[in-house]
Amino acid sequence: MKSIIKRTTIRKYTEQNVSDDMLHQLLEIAERTPTMGNLQLYSVVITRSAEGKAALAPAHFNQPMVVSAPVVLTICADFHRTTAWANQRNASPGYDNFLSFLNAATDALLYTQTFCNLAEEKGLGTCFLGTTLYNAQSIIDTLHLPQLVFPVATITLGWPAEQPALTDRLPLRSIVHTETFEDYTAEKINDFYKEKELLPENQHFVDINHKETLAQVFTDLRYTKNDNVAMSKHLIEALRRQGFIE
Amino acid sequence: MKSIIKRTTIRKYTEQNVSDDMLHQLLEIAERTPTMGNLQLYSVVITRSAEGKAALAPAHFNQPMVVSAPVVLTICADFHRTTAWANQRNASPGYDNFLSFLNAATDALLYTQTFCNLAEEKGLGTCFLGTTLYNAQSIIDTLHLPQLVFPVATITLGWPAEQPALTDRLPLRSIVHTETFEDYTAEKINDFYKEKELLPENQHFVDINHKETLAQVFTDLRYTKNDNVAMSKHLIEALRRQGFIE
């Protein structure tokens, strides 16, 4: 628990390698994470080679940790294994649909987070790359993912070469609802975001981007409607190609 | 790490309550889990009342732990909070789309798994209810979830009143691929599933259901194509109603 309280995302790693023994041990222990029907609807592609990392980098907008980390893990929702098993056992699989994608994505994401909790407990540093969903088709092509396999998370992994300060979090009262969902009032929103908005680094972001508010930095620059709409379209096309949507 | 190695899903709980202090502490520490842009795109609805649990139970096919557990947590993908904040700060949010749903679902699921790992480290027992996605609209109605909030996970929580045996897992070699995805051959599928198929409890399942193979128990009874197709349709309708699909 101590490691979770102090965790920060690590983007810079030392030259020290992560041994196969340690990596495999962590990946195996993480398998204790529960999954749908205990079917374990996920796969992990381990990228260690310089060529492999360079091939993945563009999909992740060339963020430097993709090539500098000793290990890159691409965790995939995988209904292909279960489907192959069923076909080979005179059973008729029916997992080429949207629910099955979300079931497998759920298994894969829960598995990913246990792996990260375990890795950080060992002193390793991790960075979760949200870019995986933005450029899924590129990752599918690079890793040769077959039908019913879809990348949902990428983790860069290595020994920390930095000690970033803890980042802010919303107060617990902004996350938790009792019995039913209590809608947010203007007063509550002001209360929830006050601390975040007053942080000097966030005020600096607003200034250097010539924005009025921190929220505008998110809506106008970091996560814009235009980008989200375009990437939603690509994501749905990629899900269709992988066989998860008709 | 020890608690993860030995973890099992717990469906029976003692009469002992889980204190608000402990629950809130665990929910707060779990907030260290990374999220997209540090926006924390999730919410948690805590259900403790008998009425609240009874209202949720049908959505979970009346599995007994929903009413018998001292605490039921419904973890939601939530872009409503961020959207309300943006609207209040003269910013134009664009999160009513499919990518944004998956971004928020990712945040919510990673948060859920850290919470479960922390709870189990404290000796609590958890059960992850996959039924959340099957009957999402019913949960949305029961918990009064507004637009851009969608339930993605339900956890029942309490002090264990059972000690189930460890369940089987696929061998690590069935999960891991090196550099690129190596497709499954017939030999590999036989190797991956051999141990699972030979387990006495699984052979018993096959027998009592009058099936030829274990895979048929999954495809014909537990997770059928007809159910998956019907529930996919409901899921997409629910996502549309909540504003995540046009």
Per-residue pLDDT reduced to its tens digit, B170-225: 999 999 999 999 999 999 999 999 999 999 999 999 999 999 999 999 999 999 99
B184 contacts A32? CB cut-off 8 A? no
Q: Which chain A residue has its CA at the smallest distance from B5's CA?
A: A29
pLDDT digits (tens, 9 = 90+) for B53-63: 999 999 999 99
Nearest chain A Cα distance for residue B110, angstroms: 5
Q: Which chain A residue has its CA at the smallest distance from B178's CA?
A: A46
Q: Are B53 and B47 in contact (CB under 8 A)?
A: yes
Residue B155 has pLDDT above 80, yes or no: yes
Cα distance between residue B5 and residue B229, in whole Å: 35
B128 contacts A232? CB cut-off 8 A? no
B133 contacts A103? CB cut-off 8 A? yes
Select from A222, A9, A125, A172 the least CA-distant residue to B33.
Answer: A9
Cα distance between residue A88 and residue A83, in whole Å: 9
Rounded average pLDDT over B129-155: 98
Q: Which chain B residue has its CA at the smallest distance from A78's CA?
A: B175
Please, which pLDDT band fits residue B132 given cuts at 50, 70 and 90? very high
A228: exposed, middle or buried (Cβ count in 10 Å: 0-12, 13-18, 19+): buried
Select from B39, B28, B48 the least CA-distant residue to B118.
Answer: B28
Residues in Cβ contact with A246 at an 8 Å cutoff, skipping those fewer than 6 apart: A96, A97, A240
Q: Give the β-pairing of B42-47 and A176-178.
A: parallel
Q: Which chain B residue has its CA at the smallest distance from A9's CA?
A: B34
Examine the predicted complex and report whether its ipTM is higher than 0.95: yes
A34 contacts B218? CB cut-off 8 A? no
Cα distance between residue A46 and residue B40, in whole Å: 28
Number of residues that this document lists for chain A: 246
Q: Is A38 on the interface with B (CB under 8 A)?
A: yes
B80 contacts A48? CB cut-off 8 A? no
Residues in Cβ contact with B17 at an 8 Å cutoff, skipping those fewer than 6 apart: B70
Indicate the DSSP class of residue B115: H
- Residues B140-177 as b or e (16 or more Cβ within 10 Å = b): bebbebeebbbbbbbbbbbbbeeeeeeeebbbeebbbb
Residue B28 has pLDDT above 70, yes or no: yes
Top residue of A44, A46, A113 to mutate, by most chain B CBs within 10 Å, is A113
Q: What is the pLDDT of residue B1?
A: 67
Q: Which chain A residue has its CA at the smallest distance from B30's CA?
A: A4
Domains, in order of start, for chain A: 2-164 (3.40.109.10)
Rounded average pLDDT over B107-112: 98
A145 contacts B181? CB cut-off 8 A? yes
| Minimum-distance CB partner of B90 among A33, A175, A212 | A212
CA distances from B30 to A116, B24, B34, B72, B115 (A): 13, 10, 9, 17, 5
Cα distance between residue A242 and residue A150, in whole Å: 7
Q: Is A138 on the interface with B (CB under 8 A)?
A: no
Q: Is A13 on the interface with B (CB under 8 A)?
A: no
Q: For the sheet with A42-47, list strands across it.
A: A125-129, A149-158, A71-78, A42-47, B176-178
Q: Which chain B residue has its CA at the smallest distance from A149's CA?
A: B181
Q: Give the β-pairing of B71-78 and B149-158.
A: antiparallel
Contacts of B2 in chain A (CB under 8 A): none
Long-range interactions of B80-83: CB distance < 8 A, separation 24+: B80/A184, B80/B146, B80/B147, B80/B148, B80/B149, B81/A174, B81/A184, B81/A189, B81/A192, B81/B41, B81/B43, B82/A218, B82/B39, B82/B41, B83/B148
Average pLDDT, chain B: 97
Give the H or E element holding residue A30. Answer: helix A20-30
Q: Which residues pair with A125 in a beta bridge?
A: A158
* Residues of chain A below pLDDT 50: none
Cα distance between residue A58 and residue A71, in whole Å: 17
Q: How far, rounded to the nearest angstrom, does the alpha carbon of residue B113 sit from its chain's CA centroid?
A: 9
Nearest chain A Cα distance for residue B86, angstroms: 5
Cα distance between residue B57 and residue A230, in whole Å: 38
B85 contacts A215? CB cut-off 8 A? yes
B 78-97: CB under 8 A from A:
80-82, 84-86, 88-95, 97
Q: What is the pLDDT of residue A1?
A: 67
